[in-house]
């Protein structure tokens, strides 16, 4: 059973504050006007390694014993968690082995290798990569660092909300990309501890909707997956994260692929940011009217990552020109 609290998030903040960036928190007047709400962006796309995932990975590796570190670490990831683990391991002088699925973008694969980790490509999706990584962990004795079902990972991701709420304490709602669940569980734990009335809403795509259906049914649901621009949100979820989310998350919303593409274009056009599909789903939900009940409220959305292949983003931008 997961055990995450405001205290563990505060402890994570102390552990990682000299290793990660305090990312900008900016109001978006143009999005606010469109939505009819006071909308702010937490720009984790500007984090080292291009994603919030560095927070959880750094906190986890900082919490390991010397014996665990000496064995080296291993993880499975669609890309951003892998880069976070690779970077944090390099900073700690620890060997890292990373398993990514075949769908992992080249920009994320390059980042993993740039940070000195050994890269293994296996499987058609995250779940297959994870099974292989567990097998390799048994064979090599490496310490497995889970991407989302882990107290230290979730606590590290919770520092995103802690930073934002220390700067602007009066948000009515937080809109969060939902993949494995580490980010939304960390944000919801932190936000609800500071303000029980705040609303926390997770966003997924129709191409990868396990949170949406599992949350509605109150149990892990079987869903179909298809290719998605939001590759970082692609894959299954765990019972531990679901149990936690059912207590602290208010709702999950699905957006369409073309809406994600439009949000990526919009962020490049209006804010001049390269943002991956996973990082743009909250913007997609707001731009395309999926959250009408937030009109008149103060809303935070997490722009969670920037690791998109330039050619892919260029093609998307070109399609709207």
Report, as residue numbers or ranges, the catalytic residues.
53, 304
Q: Which letter does DSSP use for residue 207 in this model?
A: T
For residue 158, give the nearest of 13, 304, 1 by alpha carbon: 13
Phi, psi of 173 (to 5 degrees): -155, 155
- Cα angle value 49/212/163 (rounded, 5°): 40
From the DSSP assignment, how many helices (H) and strands (E) are in the chain? 14, 10
Phi, psi of 202 (to 5 degrees): -95, 145
For residue 52, give the nearest of 250, 227, 190 by alpha carbon: 190
Rounded Cα–Cα distance for residues 85 and 19 (Å): 13
Rounded Cα–Cα distance for residues 258 and 261 (Å): 5
Question: For the packed helices 6-16 and 182-194, what is the interaxial angle rounded to 10 degrees?
Answer: 110
- Cα angle value 194/219/124 (rounded, 5°): 100
Q: Are 143 and 72 in contact (CB under 8 A)?
A: yes
- Mapped onto helix, strand or coil, the DSSP state of residue 122 is coil
């Amino acid at each position: 059973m997961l055990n995450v609290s405001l205290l563990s998030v505060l402890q994570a903040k102390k552990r990682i504050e000299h290793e990660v960036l305090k990312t900008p928190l900016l109001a978006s007047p143009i999005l606010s006007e469109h939505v009819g709400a006071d909308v702010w962006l937490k720009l984790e796309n500007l984090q080292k390694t291009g994603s919030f995932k560095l927070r959880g990975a750094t906190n986890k590796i900082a919490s390991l014993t010397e014996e665990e570190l000496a064995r080296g670490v291993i993880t499975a990831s669609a890309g951003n968690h892998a880069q976070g683990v690779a970077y944090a391991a390099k900073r700690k002088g620890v060997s890292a082995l990373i398993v990514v699925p075949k769908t992992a973008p080249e920009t994320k694969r390059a980042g993993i290798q740039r940070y000195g980790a050994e890269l293994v490509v296996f499987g058609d999706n995250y779940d297959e990569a994870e099974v292989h990584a567990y097998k390799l962990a048994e064979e090599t004795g490496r310490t497995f660092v889970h991407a989302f079902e882990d107290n230290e990972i979730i606590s590290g991701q919770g520092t995103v909300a802690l930073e934002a709420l220390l700067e602007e304490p009066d948000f009515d709602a937080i809109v969060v990309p939902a993949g494995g669940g580490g980010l939304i569980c960390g944000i919801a734990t932190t936000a609800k501890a500071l303000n029980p009335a705040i609303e926390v809403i997770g966003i997924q795509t129709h191409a990868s909707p396990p949170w949406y259906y599992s949350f509605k049914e109150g149990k892990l649901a079987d869903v179909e997956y298809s290719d998605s621009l939001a590759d970082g949100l692609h894959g299954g979820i765990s019972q531990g994260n679901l149990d936690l989310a059912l207590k602290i998350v208010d709702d999950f919303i699905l957006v369409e692929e073309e809406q994600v593409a439009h949000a990526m274009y919009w962020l490049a056009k209006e804010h001049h940011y390269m943002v991956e599909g996973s990082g743009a789903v909250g913007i997609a939900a707001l731009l395309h009217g999926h959250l009408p009940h937030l009109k008149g409220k103060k809303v935070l959305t997490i722009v969670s990552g920037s690791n998109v292949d330039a050619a892919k983003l260029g093609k998307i931008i070109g399609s709207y020109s």
